[in-house]
Amino acid sequence: MSRVSNLASGLYRGEVSFDFVGRRKLWYSISAVLLFVSLGALAVNGLKFGVEFEGGSVFAVPTETCTVEVARDATTEVVGTEIVPIVTELNSSNGRSIHVQTDALTPKETTEVTHSLADACNVPATTVSAQVIGPSWGEQITKKAFTGLGVFLIAIVIYLSIMFEWRMAVGALVALFHDVFITVGIYALVGFEVTPASVVGILTILGYSLYDTVVVFDKVKENTKGLAGGSRMTYSEAANLAVNQTLVRSINTSVVGLLPVAALLFVGAYVLGAGTLKDLALALFVGIGVGTYSSIFVATPVVAQLKEREPAMQALSKRVAARRSSRGETAPTGTVSTATAAKADTRASEEPADGAVAVKDRPPASRGPRNQPRRGNKRKRR
């Protein structure tokens, strides 16, 4: 624990630094690979929408002994092999049950499937519940979800532009689309159904990702205040310092958030068999992890890249380079210990502006007779 504490304090003081902003091309490449895999999964597998979006019939059979294979065979006997039923086993506080999902069936087919499942699972037909869901309900959910997403993005752009600047709004939006696209791609890759719970989870991770990004941006704003008028460090270096200072906080927040979500995903979904928890937990689990990555490796480097294009920041970079060249210093690169750089920045902050003379470098002023040795007095005492 002491090592972790020392690392955290070293990162905050700038004694230890990881070059996140300077290696942005590497992080962009990693993100490009993840996005390419997500795009490929969407193109090949596509999204598997639940019955709430596509419509269909759902049968629930409360049983302790019936298996998934038996329920699937009983359904196929009625609907045929052209319709592939989706059969899952669920465990809840009310007991174990088998859920069968098919395409929309006629009332006659619904009755036949109900009796077939009851006979195969050895339960009364009255205990088998059948529900027909139309696709219009899913369309309403999709429309409301996109409406909420649009309002959310507009509000984020306005808020970040007022509180910070428009470049940070752009960086936050890039990180948000990065997180959502990768999360949706993983859904297509693993074949999970997209249900209303999945939509709720995806909208939730937007808020979490934005929270982590705003924490870093706030520190960037603090570190870069009045930076253009000096010559100690470039904007990218100040932004990189902010990422290092908030790194431990971001990791701790992510770990604390991932632990209960992992419990929902692996214990609630796979051990207890709660399908709704699985849909929600997967979106949260992937989104929290990717959101933490994007706030560190994507959002801040994008902002630094946009800021470095400003004439004022380009002039600052030239002054910093000239100052370091005159002192024989080099900019920190890679994963380094920057205690020396921190001391250099401290010395630079103590130096006056160009044309002035430091007080400690001035020669001592002549103080008149008191500066002369008192030889005469010594002779008199002798």
3-state secondary structure of 65: coil
Going by pLDDT thresholds of 50, 70 and 90, the confidence category of residue 137 is low
Mean pLDDT of the chain: 78
Report the pLDDT value the prediction gives residue 135, as an integer from 0 to 100: 67
99/239 same-domain check: no
Residue 120 forms part of a structural domain = yes
Residue 376 forms part of a structural domain = no
168/294 same-domain check: yes
Q: How far apart are CA 161 and CA 164, in angstroms?
A: 5
Per DSSP, the chain holds a count of helices (H) and strands (E) of 15, 8
pLDDT higher for 9 or 228? 228
Query: Which residue(s) pair with 88 in the sheet?
Result: 99
Going by pLDDT thresholds of 50, 70 and 90, the confidence category of residue 11 is low
Report the pLDDT value the prediction gives residue 380, as an integer from 0 to 100: 45
Render pLDDT for 226-248 as a digit per residue (tens, 0 to 9): 888 777 889 999 999 999 988 88
| Total tally of structural domains belonging to the chain | 2
Query: Which segment, 11-20, 77-86, 171-180, 330-339, is predicted with the most confidence on average?
Result: 171-180
From 280, 311, 342, the end of a domain falls on 311
Residue 28 forms part of a structural domain = yes
Task: Using alpha carbons, select from 18, 49, 111, 105 the residue that is nearest to residue 301.
Answer: 18
Report the pLDDT value the prediction gives residue 340, as an integer from 0 to 100: 37
From 261, 288, 311, the end of a domain falls on 311
Going by pLDDT thresholds of 50, 70 and 90, the confidence category of residue 346 is very low
Q: Say if residue 178's pLDDT is above 50.
A: yes
Residue 73 maps to which CATH number? Answer: 3.30.70.3220
Render pLDDT for 158-171 as a digit per residue (tens, 0 to 9): 988 898 889 999 99
Going by pLDDT thresholds of 50, 70 and 90, the confidence category of residue 334 is very low
Q: Say if residue 27's pLDDT is above 90.
A: yes
From 293, 311, 329, the end of a domain falls on 311
Q: State which residues form the domain around 125.
A: 56-133
Residue 301 maps to which CATH number? Answer: 1.20.1640.10
In this structure, are residues 261 and 284 in contact, taking their beta carbons and an 8 Å threshold? yes
Report the pLDDT value the prediction gives residue 9, as an integer from 0 to 100: 64
Render pLDDT for 37-84 as a digit per residue (tens, 0 to 9): 999 999 988 888 877 777 788 889 988 888 888 888 888 888 887 777
3-state secondary structure of 95: strand
Report the pLDDT value the prediction gives residue 359, as an integer from 0 to 100: 39
161/118 same-domain check: no
